[in-house]
């Protein structure tokens, strides 16, 4: 049985700079093995510039945690590509490639993490990316346990598997900014309204049920995927890393509870019970069971 490591995924939301700094100061002290940094959602967000992220990476590296720079998912313009090139050629930190454009810049240059938006759905694609230098791949949240087991049967030795364990699911990306649209603004003059919504802007159905979350050009699930009670099966399957996705409040408690369950100091049942007060919404795990992502299956 493998020892599952814990990673902190890239911050999906747009927070004021001081907030980001304070957040990562907290994270630095937590039992996390890997921290992903960088703006992956929107190139217009600028509270932290590329140099700031690099400086933050440098600071956090001194904690002994593995630091990874994540690239922007949707690349539309030459400035986007230039920013990507800067990250890919940083020469110091591991990079998570979230677009094939990033893979092209990283292949043969340095080992990299193949991000979830590369859509690796089968062994053939995974082996190809491994040949090009992927030392780890992040499983698309759509892929459940059964499909993952089938891919694992063809996995190349030495390529780590990372699964999205906790957080609102990143479901979709668009050229359009839905936060700006909500305020009847165009993206180019968005007034950075998303900075007011530290966990995104909640969208409900017409009968009032929370359904999705608008986060700029990204759409997330309202429900929080939480695989805390799946840790034994994740380990048995040979998953190496479990990703926890940042939220504005109670993130230290969430990280600590995952660590406690992994250490065997508390049961997943008890952790789940404690987590209820720390989660921004109901939980779900449907994707893991090959079902609609929004449902919650009994483990």
Partner 1 sequence: MISSHKVELVCPAGSLPALRLAVDNGADCVYVGFRDQTNARNFAGLNFDDRALNEGIGYAHAAGAQVFVALNTYPQSASWPQWTRAVDRAADLGVDAVIMADPGLMEYAARTHEHLRLHLSVQGSATNHEAINFYYEHFGIRRAVLPRVLALAQIRHVMANTPVQIEVFGFGGLCVMVEGRCALSAYTTGVSPNSDGACSPAKAVRWEQTPRGMEVRLNEVLIDRFAQGERAGYPTLCKGRFEVDEKLYYAFEEPASLNALELLPELVRAGIRAIKIEGRQRSPAYVAEVTRIWRQALDACLADPDGFQVRSAWMGALCGLSEGRSYTLGAFDRPWK
Among positions 116-145, residues that touch partner 1 (CB under 8 A) are 117, 119-129, 140-142
Q: Residue 138: helix, strand or coil by DSSP?
A: strand
Single residue of 13, 36, 164, 287 touching partner 1 by CB under 8 A: 287
46 binds partner 1 (CB under 8 A): no
196 binds partner 1 (CB under 8 A): no
Closest alpha carbon to 76 in 169, 177, 171: 177
Single residue of 1, 51, 78, 276 touching partner 1 by CB under 8 A: 78
Tokens standing for residue 13: 């939301």
Of the chain, the end-to-end C-alpha distance in Å amounts to: 19
Q: Which is nearer to partner 1, 153 or 298 (CB)?
A: 153
Distance CA 145, CA 227 (A): 11
211 binds partner 1 (CB under 8 A): yes
Chain residues 244-283 in contact with partner 1, contact rule CB under 8 A: none
CB 37 within 8 A of CB 53: yes
Q: Which is nearer to partner 1, 36 or 287 (CB)?
A: 287
CB 228 within 8 A of CB 258: yes
199 binds partner 1 (CB under 8 A): no
CB 282 within 8 A of CB 296: yes
Stretch that binds partner 1, among 9-17, 214-222, 234-242, 256-264 (CB under 8 A): 214-222
Stretch that binds partner 1, among 8-16, 18-26, 77-85, 264-272 (CB under 8 A): 77-85
Distance CA 288, CA 141 (A): 8
CA atoms within 13 A on the CB side of 153: 5
Q: Which is nearer to partner 1, 204 or 270 (CB)?
A: 204
182 binds partner 1 (CB under 8 A): yes
221 binds partner 1 (CB under 8 A): yes
- Tell me how far, at minimum, the Cβ of 280 lies from partner 1, in Å: 16
CB 85 within 8 A of CB 53: no
Single residue of 94, 145, 163, 169 touching partner 1 by CB under 8 A: 169
∠ CA 53-71-192, nearest 5°, is 70
Q: Which residue has the tokens 């700031």?
A: 52
Single residue of 34, 54, 68, 73 touching partner 1 by CB under 8 A: 73
**DSSP label of 89:** T
Single residue of 30, 102, 113, 275 touching partner 1 by CB under 8 A: 102
Single residue of 105, 234, 242, 254 touching partner 1 by CB under 8 A: 105
């Amino acid at each position: 049985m493998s020892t599952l490591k814990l990673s902190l995924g890239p911050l999906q939301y747009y927070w004021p700079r001081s907030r980001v700094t304070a957040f990562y100061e907290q994270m630095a002290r937590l039992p996390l093995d890997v921290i992903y940094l960088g703006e992956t959602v929107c190139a217009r967000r600028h509270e932290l510039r590329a140099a700031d992220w690099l400086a933050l990476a440098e600071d956090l590296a001194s904690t002994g945690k593995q630091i990874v720079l994540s690239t922007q998912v949707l690349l539309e313009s030459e400035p986007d590509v230039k920013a990507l090139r800067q990250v890919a050629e940083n020469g110091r930190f591991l990079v998570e490639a979230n677009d094939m454009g990033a893979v092209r810049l990283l292949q043969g240059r340095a080992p990299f993490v193949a991000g979830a938006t590369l859509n690796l759905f089968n062994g053939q694609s995974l082996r190809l990316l491994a040949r090009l230098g992927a030392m780890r791949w992040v499983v698309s949240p759509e892929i459940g346990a059964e499909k993952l087991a089938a891919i694992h049967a063809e996995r190349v030795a030495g390529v780590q598997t990372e699964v999205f364990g906790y957080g609102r699911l990143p479901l979709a990306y668009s050229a359009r900014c839905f936060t700006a649209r909500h305020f009847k603004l165009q993206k180019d003059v968005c007034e950075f309204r998303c900075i007011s919504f530290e966990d995104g802007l909640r969208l409900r159905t017409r009968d009032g049920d929370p359904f999705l979350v608008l986060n700029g050009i990204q759409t997330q699930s309202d429900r929080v995927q939480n695989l805390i009670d799946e840790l034994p099966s994740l380990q048995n399957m040979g998953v190496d890393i479990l990703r926890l996705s940042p939220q504005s409040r109670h993130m230290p408690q969430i990280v600590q509870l995952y660590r406690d369950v992994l250490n065997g100091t508390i049961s997943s049942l008890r952790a789940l019970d404690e987590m209820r007060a720390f989660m921004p919404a109901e939980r779900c795990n449907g994707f893991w069971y090959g079902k609609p992502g929004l449902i919650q299956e009994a483990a």
